[in-house]
């Protein structure tokens, strides 16, 4: 069975989803109760989670959900806005086609030919959208919007001190959309306290965020049955298990980590132990006992007071530990182990072969280790002494039901993700955008590395010609690679291909383009500066370095290295280098610097709406005007919903008119909101939605297959492995 | 290879609370919990049509654990009550009824959820800060130099569980036992922070309740055959004890991941038994009098111990290992050879005892912070109920040590609190409404809903068709028997208020709880002599009730905030 994939169908789906998510949007949003197949109940206001919980059947809906979840994975926020925005875009598109239909087709017959014609039209529009995203959006962001940006840092010096009050505002706005109404302030305060307690020094907060984001599950303790207000922050690390042996000790405590049983086993895997007599058995058992004792004695001599073990230790070890005054915690999970290792930088203990006398190398100190009782359940409480900028603290999250605890936990985790994104620079050119994606899909690189081997040659071959030809030809060539790039970005997984292309085009530019060509190039393309965004850094580097012949050679040499390495199939490290070069130089061109924020309440949307309309008025091409108008109008959807329940002076039309007036007269916009939100997150959201929309528009037919789903093996990656 | 299966789409409903079905199920649940509440509560019999035992109960812990709930909203409610009970043992029904009442009352008003939730939260913080303040008129500080108040607390808990089937005399007996058991686990030389011991409840069913008793130390149940084997215990003032956590049965402990090949003619059993007997010899030479083992002791080793006049008791189980090692001061031994002498402990006395038809081995430690509560009741279900009740009472006592005060029971706290809130919101609404954007009318509506939820909670203590009243001075709770003449010398009909603090001798201007009353200022600050003189008060655990109140309001807020329910049908 096949169904026509059309905007109409997509809009229907999106509208249904919109009604579900819009009830949870913003500070006035409400909760949704989800049940799991196991019977557990979960409270949520997290758009991504809700969409997943719906288990949608409709193919277009599933595609939308997939797009949303990939966006969420990257940024940790914005699922609800995603759906609302997408829905409004589709609505605008339909409005346009309806208008056209009235004028062109008087008959209402859906012929086959018309369907295909329609599809062609959608294809055009989707291309226009893409051009918009790559050219207009970045331009508008950089030229107009950037003057409204605020920063979360209290000053713009190198060390970038964080401003506590603005961080609080940012977090409160975030939690307004994520947790229940009466807990906004409490949870955001808790998170803020936690963040500042964990950050030892001013500068290390990025490292802290990374660690907390990675290991958040280990850093929280959920407790049900207590009121939410009992949640608190505890210094040190809390492990959800009891001591196997606990020996109280004072002062700093020396610890070791073991990842195998201390008592040697009778036989190891793959070996045979042949017993020939009872005496042999007795002696071997005696040896095992003695050896275990010796090791424990040794540990005691080295003043070790706490043993952390990833495996269950035999009774004998526990007994000996107790005799030697060593506390033992068993069965640490690998995540806990890696967290502890990251915090204190301690490698697992390698058991000494003989009863050696040398000093134990792999030890660390903790301030305290004691049992910790929460709701009559026992935990291990460790006061780790951190070697990085993260000062270990744990959050105890309380709530009357598990569902609520989980909601708060998810919201906190998402908030850390969001902060992590916020403190990164967002480059507006397309190359670095791709590099972001690459970080998440690194295994794919191996897959495609072989393909990349051939590409340089092809491109190199094509370079030969323009080198001898005129400058104009050269420019054409560049434009060609440019379109090549753009065409690729259409795909769902463009990152890898893009990456290889960039790598290949890097040598082309630096090898062939002379200083003069660069200059002419720049003359040729002042209008299209945006398209050239990703090439600019290289042009720049050339113009900077071309004063002497030598340095340029160095560059080309380096680029040759790139291709060579590419052949070996290990693209990863080199790519980093070339990318670094590229980002560091494009920095001054166009980027949203780290920590950029705007007040909440649709400020970003209204601003962008205003400037897009302005832009649309100015531009000549009808396609571009249309797309800009569509996006500008769709942007207003979010603030409309946010102010739905407000009346009088705070209703949406009032706010909108006031904002427009302020913008026209160049006055500062006055906002009655106290929260802040990240600009980079909004920008990313916008681009993700546009990509999703182009995906939807390019589908012309949905084919329904009635067959058991099969597991898909990634054959290429299998080969590589 | 696992088969992939397409997931069924979920079921999504909007505005769940407006549906008639949900309201109906909520009111059914409310009916169930309300009818169980209080000393006069009705019992519920839960039985599974497919078999299993029948449970007769009126306690929330047993009731909700066995009650299958399908609707997600009810599930939220019941799990939140169950979680509360698992934290505090007491106040489950209180929480459940209050939550149901709140949801029902608020729905009737029809304000937007935002306003309701905000104001509910304000009222809750008003309640908690009042209950925690010194001026609170329904809070009694606990004086640990007398047992009076603690005994009243335990008795109130026992009385409120009618499914235990206890007579007044039996209630007195059990409450004294519980209090004694609690006092036994408090260490004598307390330092700055007290580590409480443990009281172990030992079941003894089908006996008279009066036969229940409390013993210091640990009782280990043994069979009659084992009892015969235990030799008469010699008289001594101290016994040396060894406690094993490894099996002494002679099984080969794990041999690693590889294979162990045993040549023909080699008998590992003999080798292991040799090792065990060596161990036995060492124990004997160390003059150990008692060997306890968590797991099984090999019969030959047992025989060996008997010939050397060492008492051996095996299969004590993991549950008593911790208290055992605590009272005897031993370190559980995990090794079969070479035992460090520091792992031995000692006990004061050993004896065997027979209670009912069961034989016990009684270990009496030197310093007792562990005691055994032998609990008897007529049948299984009543015993289960009594056991739960005893655990609740012991827990309540522990919580009272942490927070040394109790609340008035019998509905008086609820009516008093309602009167206080009414007065507060009437007299100073500005303080509550600070910057919320809510109007005074909205506040009055929510206050009415909140207070009537509290009052009807108190009113649900009355199950026999009687009238419930409140007075205009203290705001306490009074009830009248059903078939009393309509009018009306109140002091003659009423005797004491719900908690038993005030008698009807004073003129207190009573009025029906359900009728509209002029708001008044309830008298705060309990007079000291009132609490000392009153003999038999009904009291509630402070911590449990306070947290129950918070959890109830938070859960009600959660339920009122729901916009959609998504049910996963896989």
Residues 395-434 of B with CB under 8 A from A: none
* Chain B residues within an 8 Å CB radius of A39: 75
Instruction: Please give the pLDDT value at position A492.
Output: 33
Q: Transcribe A13-50 into DSSP letters.
A: HHHHHHHHHHTT-STT--EEEEE-TTS-EEEE--HHHH
| B40 touching A (Cβ < 8 Å) | no
With respect to residue B316, please indicate whether it lies within any of the assigned structural domains: yes
Q: Exposed, middle or buried: residue A526 (CB in 10 Å: 0-12, 13-18, 19+)?
A: exposed
Answer whether A53 sits within 8 Å of B117, measured CB to CB. Answer: no
Are B278 and B331 contained in the same domain? yes
Shortest CA distance from B546: residue in chain A? A227
Are B175 and B95 contained in the same domain? no
- The dihedral region occupied by A715, where left means phi > 0, alpha psi between -120 and 50, and beta the remainder, is alpha
Say if CB A600 and CB A675 are below 8 A apart.
Answer: yes
Would the CA dihedral through A3, A8, A10, A16 be positive or negative?
A: negative
Residues 501-540 of B with CB under 8 A from A: none
Cα B390 from chain centroid? 8
When comparing pLDDT for B258 and B474, which is higher?
A: B474
Answer whether A323 sits within 8 Å of B340, measured CB to CB. Answer: yes
Residue A447 has pLDDT above 70, yes or no: no
Q: If you average pLDDT over residues A338-364, what whole number do you get? A: 77
Answer whether B334 sits within 8 Å of A318, measured CB to CB. Answer: yes
How far is A701 from A1, CA to CA, in rounded Å? 10
Work out the pLDDT band at A428, boundaries 50, 70, 90.
Answer: low
Cα B256 from chain centroid? 45
Answer whether A281 sits within 8 Å of B87, measured CB to CB. Answer: no
Q: If you average pLDDT over residues A16-29, what whole number do you get? A: 84
Final residue in a domain of this structure, among B339, B367, B395: B367
Distance from CA of B559 to the nearest CA of A (A): 9
Q: Exposed, middle or buried: residue A83 (CB in 10 Å: 0-12, 13-18, 19+)?
A: buried
pLDDT tens string B217-232: 999 988 888 888 777 7
Helix, strand or coil, per DSSP, at residue A227: coil
- B409-424: buried (b, 16+ CB within 10 Å) or exposed (e) per residue? bbbbbbbbbbbbbbeb
pLDDT tens string A535-548: 433 433 343 333 33
How far is A412 from A404, CA to CA, in rounded Å? 12
Cα A469 from chain centroid? 45
Which among B83, B339, B439 is the top mutation candidate for probing chain A, defined by the most A β-carbons within 10 Å of its own β-carbon?
B83
When comparing pLDDT for A601 and A407, which is higher?
A: A407
* Chain A residues within an 8 Å CB radius of B72: 33, 35, 41
Q: How many CA atoms lie within 13 A of A108 on its CB side?
A: 2
With respect to residue B429, please indicate whether it lies within any of the assigned structural domains: yes
Are B455 and B541 contained in the same domain? yes
Answer whether B266 sits within 8 Å of A278, measured CB to CB. Answer: yes
Which among B256, B269, B436, B544 is the top mutation candidate for probing chain A, defined by the most A β-carbons within 10 Å of its own β-carbon?
B256
How far is B36 from B60, CA to CA, in rounded Å? 8
pLDDT tens string A3-13: 555 778 888 88
Instruction: Please give the pLDDT value at position A527.
Output: 37
Residue A479 has pLDDT above 60, yes or no: no
With respect to residue B504, please indicate whether it lies within any of the assigned structural domains: no
Residue whose C-alpha is closest to residue B36's, from B2, B67, B4: B67
When comparing pLDDT for A376 and B164, which is higher?
A: B164
Are B561 and B421 contained in the same domain? yes
Task: Give the CATH number, domain containing residue B101.
Answer: 1.10.560.10
DSSP-assigned letter for residue A312: P
Residue A26 has pLDDT above 60, yes or no: yes
Are B194 and B133 contained in the same domain? no
Final residue in a domain of this structure, among B351, B367, B383: B367
Q: Regarding beta strands A596-599 and A150-151, do their DSSP bridges make them parallel or antiparallel, or are they unpaired?
A: antiparallel
Tokens, residue A340:
């502890």
Shortest CA distance from B264: residue in chain A? A276
Which among A35, A242, A370 is the top mutation candidate for probing chain B, defined by the most B β-carbons within 10 Å of its own β-carbon?
A35
Instruction: Please give the pLDDT value at position A348.
Output: 86
Q: Regarding beta strands B44-46 and B55-57, do their DSSP bridges make them parallel or antiparallel, or are they unpaired?
A: antiparallel
Q: How many beta-carbon contacts under 8 Å exist across A and B?
A: 224
Report the range out of B79-88, B360-369, B532-541 with the highest average pLDDT: B79-88
**A295-304, A575-584, A585-594, B138-147: least confident range:** A575-584
Work out the pLDDT band at B485, boundaries 50, 70, 90.
Answer: low
Q: Transcribe A346-397 into DSSP letters.
A: -PPPPPPSS---SPP-S-EEEEEEEEEEETTEEEEEEEE--SSSB--EEEEE
Distance from CA of A375 to the nearest CA of B (A): 6
When comparing pLDDT for B436 and B212, which is higher?
A: B212
Residue A456 has pLDDT above 50, yes or no: no
Instruction: Please give the pLDDT value at position B42.
Output: 92
CA distances from A188 to A185, A206, A416, A590, B531 (A): 5, 19, 12, 32, 44
Are B420 and B563 contained in the same domain? yes
When comparing pLDDT for A648 and B349, which is higher?
A: B349
With respect to residue B3, please indicate whether it lies within any of the assigned structural domains: no
pTM, two decimal places: 0.82
Residue A467 has pLDDT above 60, yes or no: no
Cα B14 from chain centroid? 37
ipTM of the complex: 0.88
Helix axis angle for B299-307 and B268-285, nearest 10°, is: 30
**A1-5, A489-493, B40-44, B437-441: least confident range:** A489-493
Radius of gyration, CA atoms only, chain A: 30
pLDDT tens string B388-402: 999 999 999 999 988
Task: Give the CATH number, domain containing residue B392.
Answer: 3.30.260
Are B29 and B91 contained in the same domain? yes
Tokens, residue A704:
């329904």
Name the residue among A24, A226, A285 with its Cβ closest to that of B87.
Answer: A226
- The dihedral region occupied by A152, where left means phi > 0, alpha psi between -120 and 50, and beta the remainder, is alpha
Distance from CA of A275 to the nearest CA of B (A): 5
Are B315 and B434 contained in the same domain? no
**A162-166, A290-294, B85-89, B99-103: least confident range:** A162-166
Work out the pLDDT band at A159, boundaries 50, 70, 90.
Answer: low
Answer whether B76 sits within 8 Å of A320, measured CB to CB. Answer: no
Work out the pLDDT band at B531, boundaries 50, 70, 90.
Answer: low
Distance from CA of A640 to the nearest CA of B (A): 19
Say if CB B266 and CB A276 are below 8 A apart.
Answer: yes
Main-chain phi, psi angles of B482, to 5 degrees: -60, -60
Final residue in a domain of this structure, among B367, B389, B416: B367
| B568 touching A (Cβ < 8 Å) | yes
Task: Give the CATH number, domain containing residue B331.
Answer: 3.50.7.10
How far is A685 from A675, CA to CA, in rounded Å? 19
Instruction: Please give the pLDDT value at position B5.
Output: 64
How far is A354 from B123, CA to CA, in rounded Å? 69
Instruction: Give me the domain span that covers residue B306.
Output: 218-253+266-367
Q: Transcribe B217-232 into DSSP letters.
A: SEEEEE-HHHHHHSPP
With respect to residue B483, please indicate whether it lies within any of the assigned structural domains: no
Name the β-bridge partners of B350.
B363
Are B416 and B397 contained in the same domain? no
With respect to residue B488, please indicate whether it lies within any of the assigned structural domains: no
With respect to residue B494, please indicate whether it lies within any of the assigned structural domains: no
DSSP-assigned letter for residue B356: T
Answer whether A37 sits within 8 Å of B332, measured CB to CB. Answer: no
Work out the pLDDT band at A558, boundaries 50, 70, 90.
Answer: very low
Work out the pLDDT band at A397, boundaries 50, 70, 90.
Answer: very high
Tokens, residue B73:
């909203």
Instruction: Please give the pLDDT value at position A381.
Output: 93
Residue B344 has pLDDT above 60, yes or no: yes
Name the residue among B259, B337, B570 with its Cβ closest to that of A37.
Answer: B570
Number of domains in chain B: 3
Q: Which domains does chain A have, with CATH numbers?
A: 1-100+113-149+592-698 (1.10.560.10), 241-266+278-352 (3.50.7.10)
| B86 touching A (Cβ < 8 Å) | yes
Work out the pLDDT band at A112, boundaries 50, 70, 90.
Answer: low
In chain B, the percentage of residues whose pLDDT exceeds 70 is 95
Q: If you average pLDDT over residues B491-500, what whole number do you get? A: 81
Residue B420 has pLDDT above 80, yes or no: yes
| A282 touching B (Cβ < 8 Å) | yes
DSSP-assigned letter for residue A136: I
With respect to residue B487, please indicate whether it lies within any of the assigned structural domains: no
Name the β-bridge partners of B202.
B374
Distance from CA of B515 to the nearest CA of A (A): 32
> Prior bond to B488 cis, omega within 30?
yes
* Chain B residues within an 8 Å CB radius of A273: 255-256, 258-261
Q: If you average pLDDT over residues B194-207, what whole number do you get? A: 87
How far is B29 from B24, CA to CA, in rounded Å? 9
Q: If you average pLDDT over residues A681-691, what whole number do you get? A: 88
Instruction: Please give the pLDDT value at position B532.
Output: 60
Are B163 and B230 contained in the same domain? no
Shortest CA distance from A274: residue in chain B? B261
Residue A613 has pLDDT above 80, yes or no: yes
How far is B342 from A378, CA to CA, in rounded Å? 27
How far is B27 from B104, CA to CA, in rounded Å? 8
Name the residue among B80, B246, B561 with its Cβ closest to that of A180.
Answer: B561
* Chain B residues within an 8 Å CB radius of A274: 261, 263
Distance from CA of B256 to the nearest CA of A (A): 5
Residue B54 has pLDDT above 90, yes or no: no
Work out the pLDDT band at A640, boundaries 50, 70, 90.
Answer: confident
* Chain B residues within an 8 Å CB radius of A17: none
Answer whether B72 sits within 8 Å of A269, measured CB to CB. Answer: no
Are B414 and B562 contained in the same domain? yes
Instruction: Please give the pLDDT value at position A564.
Output: 34
Mean of the per-residue pLDDT values of chain A: 72
Are B319 and B386 contained in the same domain? no
Work out the pLDDT band at A506, boundaries 50, 70, 90.
Answer: very low
How far is B445 from B447, CA to CA, in rounded Å? 5
Shortest CA distance from A712: residue in chain B? B4
| B68 touching A (Cβ < 8 Å) | no
């Amino acid at each position: 069975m096949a169904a026509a994939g059309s905007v109409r169908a997509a809009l229907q789906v999106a509208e249904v989803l919109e009604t579900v998510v819009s009830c949870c949007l913003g500070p006035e949003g409400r909760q949704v109760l989800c049940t799991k197949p196991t019977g557990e109940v979960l409270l949520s206001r997290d758009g991504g989670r809700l969409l997943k919980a719906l288990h949608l059947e409709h193919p277009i809906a599933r595609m939308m959900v997939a797009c949303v979840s990939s966006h969420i994975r990257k940024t940790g926020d914005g699922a609800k806005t995603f759906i609302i925005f997408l829905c409004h875009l589709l609505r605008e598109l339909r409005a346009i086609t309806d208008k056209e239909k009235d004028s062109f087709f008087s008959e209402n017959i859906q012929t086959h030919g018309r369907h295909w014609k329609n599809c062609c039209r959608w294809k055009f529009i989707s291309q226009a959208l893409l051009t918009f995203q790559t050219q207009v959006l970045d331009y508008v962001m950089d030229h107009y919007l950037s003057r409204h940006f605020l920063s979360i840092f209290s000053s713009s010096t190198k060390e970038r001190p964080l401003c506590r009050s603005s961080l609080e505002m940012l977090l409160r706005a975030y939690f307004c959309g994520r947790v229940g109404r009466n807990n906004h302030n409490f949870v955001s305060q808790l998170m803020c306290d936690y963040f500042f307690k964990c950050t030892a020094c001013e500068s290390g907060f990025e490292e802290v965020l990374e660690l907390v984001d990675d290991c958040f599950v280990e850093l929280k303790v959920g407790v049900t049955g207590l009121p939410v207000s009992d949640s608190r922050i505890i210094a040190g690390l809390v492990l959800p298990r009891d001591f196997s042996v606990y020996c109280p000790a004072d002062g700093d405590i020396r610890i070791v980590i073991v990842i195998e049983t201390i008592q040697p086993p009778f036989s190891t895997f793959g070996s045979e132990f042949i017993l020939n007599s009872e005496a042999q058995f007795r002696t071997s058992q005696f040896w095992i006992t003695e050896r275990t004792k010796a090791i424990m004695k040794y540990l005691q001599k080295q003043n070790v007071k706490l043993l952390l073990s990833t495996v269950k230790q035999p009774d004998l070890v526990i007994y000996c530990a107790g005799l030697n005054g060593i506390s033992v915690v068993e069965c640490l999970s690998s995540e806990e182990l890696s967290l502890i290792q990251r915090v204190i930088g301690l490698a697992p203990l390698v058991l000494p072969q003989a009863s050696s006398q040398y000093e134990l190398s792999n030890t660390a100190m903790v301030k305290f280790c004691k049992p910790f009782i929460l709701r009559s359940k026992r935990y291990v409480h460790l006061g780790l002494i951190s070697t990085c900028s993260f000062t270990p603290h744990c959050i105890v999250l309380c709530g009357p039901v598990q569902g609520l605890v989980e909601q708060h936990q998810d919201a906190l985790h998402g908030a850390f993700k969001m902060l992590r994104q916020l403190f990164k620079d967002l480059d507006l050119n397309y190359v670095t955008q791709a590099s972001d994606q690459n970080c998440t899909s690194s295994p794919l690189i191996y897959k495609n590395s072989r393909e990349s081997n051939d590409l340089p040659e092809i491109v190199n071959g094509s370079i030969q010609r323009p080198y001898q030809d005129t400058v104009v030809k050269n420019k054409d060539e560049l434009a060609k690679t440019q379109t090549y790039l753009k065409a690729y970005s259409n795909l769902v997984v463009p990152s890898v291909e893009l990456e290889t292309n960039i790598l290949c085009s890097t040598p082309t530019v630096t090898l062939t383009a002379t200083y003069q060509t660069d200059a002419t190039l720049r003359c040729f393309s002042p209008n299209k500066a945006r398209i050239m965004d990703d090439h600019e850094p290289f042009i720049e580097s050339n113009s900077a370095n071309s004063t002497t012949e030598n340095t340029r050679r160095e560059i080309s040499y380096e680029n040759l290295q790139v291709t060579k390495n590419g052949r070996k199939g290990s693209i990863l490290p080199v790519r980093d280098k070339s990318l670094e070069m590229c980002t560091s130089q494009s920095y001054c061109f166009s980027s949203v610097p780290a920590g950029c924020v705007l007040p909440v309440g649709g400020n970003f949307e209204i601003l962008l709406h205003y400037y897009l309309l302005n832009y649309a008025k100015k531009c000549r091409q009808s396609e571009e005007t249309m797309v800009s108008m569509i996006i500008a109008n769709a942007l207003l959807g979010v603030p409309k919903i946010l102010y739905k329940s407000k009346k009088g002076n705070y209703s949406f039309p009032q706010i909108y008119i006031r904002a427009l007036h302020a913008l026209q007269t160049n006055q500062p916009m006055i906002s009655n909101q106290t929260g802040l939100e990240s600009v980079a997150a909004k920008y990313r959201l916008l681009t993700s939605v546009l990509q999703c929309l182009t995906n939807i528009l390019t589908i012309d037919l949905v084919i329904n297959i009635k067959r058991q789903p099969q597991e898909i093996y990634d054959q290429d990656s299998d080969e590589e492995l | 290879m696992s088969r992939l299966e397409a997931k069924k789409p979920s079921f999504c409903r909007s505005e769940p609370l407006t549906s008639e079905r949900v309201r109906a199920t909520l009111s059914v649940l409310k009916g169930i919990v309300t009818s169980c509440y209080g000393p006069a509560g009705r019992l519920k019999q839960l039985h599974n049509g497919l078999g299993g035992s029948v449970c007769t109960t009126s306690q929330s812990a047993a009731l909700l654990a066995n009650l299958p709930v399908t609707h997600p909203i009810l599930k939220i409610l019941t799990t939140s009550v169950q979680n509360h009970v698992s934290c505090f043992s007491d106040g489950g029904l209180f929480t459940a009824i209050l939550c149901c009442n709140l949801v029902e009352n608020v729905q009737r008003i029809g304000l937007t959820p935002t306003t309701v939730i905000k104001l509910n939260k304000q009222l809750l913080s008003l309640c908690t800060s009042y209950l925690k303040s010194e001026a609170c008129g329904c809070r009694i500080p606990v004086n640990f130099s007398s047992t009076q108040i603690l005994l009243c607390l335990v008795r109130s808990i026992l009385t409120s569980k009618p499914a235990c089937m206890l007579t007044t005399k039996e209630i007195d007996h059990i409450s004294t036992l519980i209090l004694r058991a609690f006092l036994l686990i408090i260490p004598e030389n307390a330092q700055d922070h007290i580590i409480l011991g443990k009281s172990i409840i030992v079941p003894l069913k089908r006996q008279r309740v009066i036969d229940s008793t409390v013993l210091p130390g640990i009782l280990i149940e043994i069979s009659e055959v084992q009892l015969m084997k235990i030799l008469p215990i010699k008289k001594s003032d101290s016994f040396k004890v060894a406690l094993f956590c490894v099996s002494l049965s002679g099984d080969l402990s794990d041999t690693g991941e590889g294979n162990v090949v045993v040549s023909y003619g080699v008998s590992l059993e003999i080798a292991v038994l040799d090792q065990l007997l060596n161990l036995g010899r060492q124990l004997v030479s160390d003059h150990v009098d008692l060997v306890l083992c968590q797991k099984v002791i090999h019969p030959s080793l047992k025989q060996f111990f008997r010939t050397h006049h060492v008492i051996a008791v095996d299969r004590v189980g993991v549950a008593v290992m911790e208290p055992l090692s605590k009272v005897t001061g031993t370190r559980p031994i995990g090794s079969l050879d070479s035992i460090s002498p520091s792992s031995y402990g000692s006990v004061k006395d050993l004896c065997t005892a027979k209670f009912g038809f069961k034989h016990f081995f009684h270990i009496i430690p030197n310093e007792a912070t562990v005691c055994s509560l032998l609990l008897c009741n007529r049948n299984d279900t009543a015993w289960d109920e009594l056991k739960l009740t005893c655990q609740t009472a012991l827990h309540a006592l522990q919580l009272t040590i942490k927070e040394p005060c109790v609340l008035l029971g019998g509905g008086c706290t609820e009516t008093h609190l309602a009167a206080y809130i009414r007065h507060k919101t009437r007299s100073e609404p500005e303080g509550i409404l600070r910057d919320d954007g809510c109007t005074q009318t909205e506040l009055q509506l929510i206050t009415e809903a909140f207070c009537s939820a509290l009052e009807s909670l108190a009113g649900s203590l009355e199950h026999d068709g009687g009238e419930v009243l409140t007075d205009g001075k203290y705001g306490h709770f009074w009830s009248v028997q059903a078939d009393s003449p309509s009018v009306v010398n109140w002091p003659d009909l009423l005797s004491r208020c719900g908690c038993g603090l005030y008698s009807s001798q004073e003129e207190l201007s009573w009025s029906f709880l359900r009728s509209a009353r002029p708001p008044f200022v309830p008298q705060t600050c309990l007079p000291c002599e009132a609490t000392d003189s009153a003999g038999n008060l009904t009291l509630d655990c402070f911590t449990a009730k306070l947290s129950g109140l918070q959890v109830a309001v938070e859960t009600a807020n959660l339920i009122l905030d729901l916009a959609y329910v998504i049910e996963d049908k896989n």
